[in-house]
Chain A
Amino acid sequence: MNMFARRTLDVLGWHHHDGAAAAHMAQPDGREPLGALIQVWCRQIDAATTHGTKSVDSLTQVFAQIERQLAEAIDMTQNAAQAMGGAGGGMGGAAEQARHRLEHVIGLIEGAVSANHQLFDAVTEAVQAVRELNETAASVEKISQMTTLLSINARIEAARAGEAGQGFSVVADEVRRLAAQSRQESQTIMARVARIESVIQDTASKAEALRKRDTDLIEQSRQDMVQILDELNAPVQGVMDAADALCQIGQSTRSSVSEALMEFQFMDRIGQRLAHVHSSMALLGHELHTDWPQAHQVAELDRQLMASYTMQEEKRTHRNEPEPADDNDGLVMF
């Protein structure tokens, strides 16, 4: 019985005997049950590896699905927030559009009011023109009164002149008749102008009332617009803040999920390590099938196991060396 067999049976808690004594034993030694036990170990390793790989593959798929769904959710949220908020943030894009539209409507109303104001100004000018016309008519009446007085004086003077003034008296009478006619016409004009002035004044009053109403309407519209936008802006801003927070949390969660996914690489390495141990154990089982392995055969098993390793960490474990802080050997570019 070699050293390896002794150590193995020690580990298993079985009694062992020297080769000479063992040769005389009637009962078969522990090779056969140990070989069977090794097969059990191999099956257990196989099953554990298979189950572990299957579970990790499923977990990886689930995490990958979560990662994809998070990415989609983040995209949708960002798109919705962008549509609502625009690129610049602050007031939402929809609210901003509403504000522009409302301002446009207010602008249209202001344009219409401005046209009304021009009409009012025209009416005011007409009132002024009528007043001037009235003043002119009053002047004409005054002149006709003075002309009448003048014609009376002329007639008196013509009477004093006697026969020589008779012609002049005729002219004075004619002038007085014309002055009377002029006065009558100017009074007619003044009466008509007064009527026109009354109508225009009435129109001007109505225009003024309209202007005041339009001004009030615009002011009220502005106040309503501000209020609507304020009411709209608060929930929109709240939704946008929530969307921002959601995106940040989503990104953070996505990043965590991605990092967690990277950790699933461990199963690939564990699978390989177990496969190497499994192969070595199977070789030992094969040796035990014929006889207890000799020292050189155990050394060969040890060499083959070392040669089968692909990872530095396996070799370090085999040599019972400590793991370095960062075991990532990294990248070699050719």
Chain B
Amino acid sequence: MAKCILIVDDSSSVRTVVGIALRGAGYEVVEAGDGAQALQQLNGRKVNLIISDVNMPVMDGLTFLKEVKKSPAHKFVPVMMLTTESAEEKMAIGRAEGARAWMTKPFKPEQMLAAVQKLVLP
């Protein structure tokens, strides 16, 4: 059974290109346009990894990360931030909130897949 990865990004094109890279590697992909949608997607669903943008409308990625870590069902799901944000302080917040990796856009598919393989839950 394919491992499931949740992609959270307000950019449809970014979700699409990340999805293509992941599906090409055999992963199942679920998409959400912001943190609030992502929490709805997580409801009752088992995911093996979350890849989230930081700057998004409605609910930003760092707030979403906090919510995930509060959830008993999903707090152990690894989260990788995929963002244009490169500020050290934001990265530090992400790390403190439990993110496992921080990747800056534009991403290279092979680099992202290598990180995904390291992080994804069995």
Contact = CB atoms under 8 A, between A and B. Distances in A.
Interface string B2-14: 0000000101111
Interface in B1-54: 9, 11-14, 16-17, 19-21, 24, 54
Contact of A332 (B11, B101, B105): B101
Interface string A238-282: 000000000000000000001001101111110110000000000
B20 A328 contact: no
Contact of A333 (B20, B21, B104, B118): B118
A268 B108 contact: no
A332 B102 contact: yes
B7 to A, nearest CB: 13
Given A262-B109, A330-B103, A268 B86 contact: no
A330 B95 contact: no
A310 B84 contact: yes
Contact of B101 (A53, A271, A272, A333): A333
A153 interface: no
Interface stretch (A55-63, A94-102, A172-180, A209-217): A55-63
A67 interface: yes
Contacts of B83: 310
A269 B106 contact: yes
Nearest to B102: A332
Tell me the dominant secondary structure on chain A's binding face.
helix
Contacts of A329: 86, 104
B85 interface: yes
A312 interface: yes
Contacts of A310: 54-55, 83-87
A241 B12 CA distance: 39
Tell which of B21, B54, B94, B103 has the most Cβ of chain A within 10 Å. Answer: B103
B99 A330 contact: no
A265 B54 CA distance: 15
B112 to A, nearest CB: 8
Contact of B16 (A60, A271, A311, A332): A60
Contacts of B86: 310-312, 329
A331 interface: yes
B12 A269 contact: no
Contact of A267 (B11, B24, B101, B118): B11
Given A268-B84, A268-B105, A331-B101, A64 B14 contact: no
Contacts of B118: 333
Closest 5 A/B residue pairs (Cβ): A60-B13, A265-B106, A310-B85, A329-B104, A268-B11
Interface of B: 9, 11-14, 16-17, 19-21, 24, 54-55, 83-87, 91, 94-95, 99-109, 111-112, 115, 118
